[in-house]
Structure 1
Amino acid sequence: MSTSKYQSILESNELPVNLDELPNFKIKVPSQDIFASYYSASSDSEVQMQVAVLFINELDKLIKEKNTDGLLVLYDVQFNKICSSVFKESAWPAPHEIELYQDKEIDIDIAYLYSELCYRHALARLQNSFDAELVCNSWENYNDIFDTVIHAQTEFPLPVPWIWDIIDEYIYQFYFACRWRYTIKPEDQGLKEILAKDSRDLTFWNLENINENFTSVIQKSQIFEKGVLTLKEATSTSHYFGFFTLVGQLRLNVLIGNYDAAIKSIENLDFDSLVIFSKAFPAYFNLFYYAGFAYLMTGRYKEAVKVLESVCLMMNKYKAFLTKSSQSENMMKQLEKAVCLFAISLVFYPNKASESTFWQFKDLGIKTSKQNSQNRNEKERIVDKFDKLQRYDIQTFNELFNYGCPKLIEPIQSLDSFKDITNKNTSDLIINAKEKLTKEFKVVQNLNNLATVMKLYSKINLQKAASIVNVSKDEFLNLLKQYEKRETSDLLKTPFEQTVLSRFFLPTPILKFDINGDNITINEVVPVKNYTEQYQKLNKKMTEIYSDVLSLL
């Protein structure tokens, strides 16, 4: 029986997680590490070549054996140890160099995967300036990997965290390339070399090709059957690529500021399918972090609160089981970003129950760009920031937004548009996003003040109520309409919102207003939730568990 089934029953307000798939349980480091003698060895070129040969041959062997557990250790543990020791200051040898050294041809798919790691290492650890050739080669290699996934006749096994990281790194390098293209000066040598190529030979990162690759991967994966998302028991590499590409589309659309498309990209995910993301926890986090930001930017603050609350709860609950992953430290930094957005969303849509969740992070400290030089190494408690935010301090809002906001970029739309791009400040998108929310900040303050004041009265004169809230009578009437719209908005009829978000919304009191002449009558009403569907789902889960128990007898 899967852990996720019990959690669906006992903890229905949380996201489903299969503990067996978390790094501390999944990553089983062997007692005999074939690379152990190299971690402390000298890093001369001969040693580096020996390590590269050993690594690529081990990669080839494990893939032929379909040993995904061994591949996970090789990828998430041994590769990072080698990078931190043998290749700390240099790049890995290219596949063709290894072929010459060992006088043996390397399988093309193995070369693609090995190169993916090499390019990622070079871009992440070695590069202080933009290397156009390196970036273009990495782009072509990713295209080769996706082409292999799309057209492969047979399955090749990969550990799920690597599948997600391929998609995630693909998007990050697109961001990196776009930022360079929009900020580079025309006289840059790397740009000149690319522009000097014939149009038929021009190759560079662009949104059009990325969307084509993502669409083709999803179609190949067959995760949709007759338009319905399906989660198969024996999931293939192609199937995993399809599921995780949905999260990739979400992140990509947030990256370029297309928030409606971001929400639409995950609309077919349902609650039962979420457990698959336990296999790559950073993807699980990305799903809800980027969805929360998209809801925030589309003015759906109630949804933003619950989405961000759920991911913060999940990360905080399971962080102790992530420490074996090479990405554990980065995930904790990402948690800080999510908590900052959670704090902002709670001001845009106050919720007492969610605020109690927020206080679980009372000891969390963050560094902001506004700290002076004397205390720049000290962290400020998030609860102190939240207290200022609740008093509508605009500087605190700016600091938390800057800290929590994901990277945004003006995309290179296509190769045809590559040559015509002009210089642009890449921070403008973040500034624009912040300004958009800042405009709502004053409106939200008035809405929250309205709710606070109106709770004190059962009946009050309209003009008096307007003066208490410090707005005109017409503005007050408009606020009443906005409040009603905010409190009574329905979830969309999509699997994600109906099966995931709906679980997190408990009936909470809302104010109902009745205007008679110059007076307004206020009633606090608690909506009645229909539990029929929830009981049906619980009954189905209990039946599944009962069947599993019987099968064990």
Structure 2
Amino acid sequence: MWAEELPEDVSYDSYGYYPPSDYDRPGKSHTGDPRQDLEYERQYQQQTYIVPEVIKNFLTYFQKCIKEQNLFEIQHSYENGFNKLTDRFFKNTPWPDASVIASIVGNDYIFLILYKELFYRHIYARVPGGPTQDQRFESYYNYCNLFNYILNAEGPVPLELPNQWLWDIIDEFIYQFQSFSLYRSKVTKKTDDDMDHLRRNPKIWNVHSVLNVLHSLVEKSNINRQLEVFSSGGDPDSVSGEFGQQSLYKMLGYFSLIGLLRLHSLLGDYYQALKVLESIDFNKKNMYSRVPACQITTFYYVGFAYLMMRRYQDAIRTFSNVLLYIQRTKQMFQNRASLYDQISKMNDKMYTLLAISLVLHPMRIDESVHSQLREKFADRMLRMQKGDMGEFETSFSFACPKFLSPVPPNYDQMTPTFHKEPFLLQLKVFLQEVTQQILLPTIRSYLKLYTTLPMSKLATFMDLTDEELQTNLMCFKHKMKNVVWTKGTSGLEGEFQSASEVDFYIDKDMIHIADTKVARRYGDFFIRQIHKFEEITHNLKQVQ
């Protein structure tokens, strides 16, 4: 089981938190170890902390809802109660330590694990300075406890959580792995003790542990088989097995597939990122896609993988679909500030990636998305079309994921820029591809002006030799043709197609050009806008 990836010097108990140290013993106040003395002081301060009565009442009620598996009240407490109390009492400070909360909720093993999951997530998101190194380790051990409880049980565990919380658990688990990987790659602001502690614990937040968790949840839930049956119109429960029938395992399995997509993308393995999603049909709405943040994350990483694999048509289709989805559903997020901010940032990133894709491979997209793109990115797209490599680099740097190295660094030979190396490698690959196509927008603009054009004349326009022009024309033909998904559930499948709005052939040093662009159907656009305004008018009349 994946928990065996823990460091050898940790005496791990699958039903404990972490090994008791000297400061847990009665009457022990000084150990001679500065790290343990600081921890003792922190524990002592927490134990003397007076928890407000409203917090006690909330936690007691929250615990009761989880015990009774009251899904509606759990969701309400998770999405509203916890966030409102956070803004009121703990906006920039941690919630009380679990040792303090234990005196309120008793020795409730599962509730304390879930509480600590929220506790550490809040520290990562809201506390200035972020988590300490010890807190990063403690959060990892807490995830060990949670996933061992779920995966090591002989039968399905008696636990029900809302889909949003289950998604947040997987999403945060990968985020904290990503955060730790970047943290350990930076030499700045670390003491010698911190560096020594990292050297002694190479298996904490190890990539194999994270992969093992996600694959174990996928296998336990039998989610791939369920999705295959669902896509073919069958009943997923017929192949789900004992664990897969439970919502907890089914949804964790599905979200783990999305987690694997994200993780492989962060590591730069785009083929494997799409490979893990072969059982998911993105062109069908289904019961698994009811968490908006999961939907948006999925399409962002799928679109980015397509972009890096030079499948521009698929990237454009993917980004257009999800941006249209955000346009239509953004009102759902406005009352949830943190989710709204997160989705707004992702929205800007995807518009940037869509702009890059359209510069490299112009094609028609939905009119409403296109109008937003013109409004926000017209100047940047113009600079990219003119071959401004600095604009390509800036846009890619803003919109790409935070790439990771899968292995711990050599702490004795680290440089101040070591943490940037995975990003710089992906940037280099991207810019190499762009450099190969740098003259294609100019060639395209000339070809659109003529039906026939001598090669020598075009070579003069572009200040190239005939041989250089011929090479670039062949490059144009090659780059405008790529694999495009047409049918099936696998995003890796497809057929070679060309979506270029101009096509040409060369005969005796003469370029013959055909305009393949299909005129925009403006009628459909106006009809959609008329229906939209009629609906708004109807709603206004009802309000009056």
Q: What TM-score, normalized by structure 1, do the two folds share?
A: 0.73
Is this contact kept in 1: 2:71–2:160, CA < 8 A? yes
Per-residue deviation, 1:73? 1.6
Distance change >3 Å, CA 268–CA 452, structure 1 → 2: farther
Distance change >3 Å, CA 84–CA 227, structure 1 → 2: closer
**Match for residue 340 of structure 2 among 328, 339, 352:** 328
Is this contact kept in 1: 2:501–2:516, CA < 8 A? yes
Q: What's the counterpart of residue 388 of structure 2?
A: 393
* Further displaced range: 252-261 or 505-514: 505-514
Per-residue deviation, 1:467? 3.5
Q: What's the counterpart of residue 105 of structure 1?
A: 107
Q: What number of residue pairs does the alignment pair up? A: 457
Per-residue deviation, 1:82? 1.5
Q: What TM-score, normalized by structure 2, do the two folds share?
A: 0.74
Per-residue deviation, 1:500? 11
- Partners of 2:55 and 2:161 in 1: CA distance: 19
Q: What's the counterpart of residue 422 of structure 2?
A: 429
Q: Deviations over 1:375-417 (max 9, x none)?
A: xxxxxx533333333333333333322322222222336xxx7
**Match for residue 410 of structure 1 among 401, 405, 409:** 405
Q: What's the counterpart of residue 244 of structure 1?
A: 255
- Partners of 2:47 and 2:225 in 1: CA distance: 53
- What are the within-5 Å matches in structure 2 for residues 321-470 of structure 1? 321-325=332-336, 326-353=338-365, 357-362=369-374, 381-412=376-407, 422-423=414-415, 424-470=417-463
- Partners of 2:389 and 2:283 in 1: CA distance: 40
Percent identity reads: 26
- Partners of 2:480 and 2:286 in 1: CA distance: 31
Q: What's the counterpart of residue 148 of structure 1?
A: 149
Per-residue deviation, 1:154? 2.4
Task: In structure 2, list runs of 5 or more residues that go unmatched.
Answer: 1-45, 238-244, 519-544
Is this contact kept in 2: 1:221–1:239, CA < 8 A? yes
Per-residue deviation, 1:339? 1.2
- Partners of 2:226 and 2:174 in 1: CA distance: 29
**Match for residue 72 of structure 1 among 75, 78, 85:** 75
Per-residue deviation, 1:283? 1.2
Per-residue deviation, 1:118? 0.7
Q: Deviations over 1:82-115 (max 9, x none)?
A: 222222343223334333x248321x22222111
- Partners of 1:254 and 1:443 in 2: CA distance: 23
Q: Deviations over 1:292-324 (max 9, x none)?
A: 222222222222222112211111221012223
Q: What's the counterpart of residue 215 of structure 2?
A: 215
* Further displaced range: 212-221 or 179-188: 179-188
- What are the within-5 Å matches in structure 2 for residues 52-131 of structure 1? 52-99=55-102, 101-102=103-104, 104-106=106-108, 108-128=109-129, 131=132
User: Which amino acid in the other structure matches residue 401 of structure 2?
Assistant: P
Is this contact kept in 2: 1:514–1:520, CA < 8 A? yes
Distance change >3 Å, CA 496–CA 180, structure 1 → 2: same
- Partners of 1:468 and 1:67 in 2: CA distance: 72
Q: What's the counterpart of residue 486 of structure 1?
A: 479
- Partners of 2:268 and 2:280 in 1: CA distance: 21
Is this contact kept in 2: 1:205–1:412, CA < 8 A? no
User: Which amino acid in the other structure matches residue 389 of structure 1?
Assistant: M
Q: Secondary structure at the match of 2:512?
A: strand
Q: Deviations over 1:473-521 (max 9, x none)?
A: 333333333333333433358744679999xx99966544333333343
Is this contact kept in 1: 2:280–2:489, CA < 8 A? yes
Q: What's the counterpart of residue 504 of structure 2?
A: 513
* Further displaced range: 79-88 or 171-180: 79-88
Distance change >3 Å, CA 478–CA 496, structure 1 → 2: farther
**Match for residue 291 of structure 1 among 302, 316, 319:** 302
- Partners of 1:345 and 1:135 in 2: CA distance: 37
- Partners of 2:380 and 2:228 in 1: CA distance: 43
RMSD: 3.4
Per-residue deviation, 1:351? 1.7
Q: What's the counterpart of residue 256 of structure 1?
A: 267
Is this contact kept in 1: 2:268–2:403, CA < 8 A? yes
Distance change >3 Å, CA 263–CA 474, structure 1 → 2: farther
**Match for residue 162 of structure 1 among 154, 160, 165:** 165
- Partners of 2:414 and 2:270 in 1: CA distance: 25
- Partners of 1:205 and 1:494 in 2: CA distance: 38
Q: What's the counterpart of residue 545 of structure 1?
A: none
Q: Secondary structure at the match of 1:408?
A: coil
